Structure 1
Amino acid sequence: MGLVYFLIVSALCRSAAMKPDEEKAILNKHNMYRELHGCPPLTLVESYSKDCMEYAKGKSWG
């Protein structure tokens, strides 16, 4: 579920015109916490981000 949440947040951020260096900074911070818990790092996959963007657009948040 955490991965899905991360991908949706990433897609929503992308829709807010987030710059690639900002995306990378968020991913690095997220991976820092994953490392603290012994989890492998995540990488940003463009095709997944696009799919999550479409998913997020179809949801009602709040």
Structure 2
Amino acid sequence: MKLPRATLANWVIKCSIDYMEPVYEQLHQHLLERDIIHADEIPCQVLKEEGKTAQSKSYI
């Protein structure tokens, strides 16, 4: 059976919202309960970011 690429992409988006968003919300609440949160800021290039050129650094 051939599936259009857009159909598969929509299925992935729907599943991520239905199944991963609740996991994200639980992790988010858990992090907000902490006194200190550590982060690893990784620089990356973003080609289309409002107000910045393609050569500027962005961080994840």
Task: Give yes or no for TM over 0.5.
Answer: no
> Greater relative contact order (Cα 8 A, min sep 6): structure 1 or 2?
1
Greater percentage in strand: 2
Structure 2-normalised TM-score? 0.31
Higher radius of gyration, 1 or 2: 2
TM-score (norm 1): 0.31
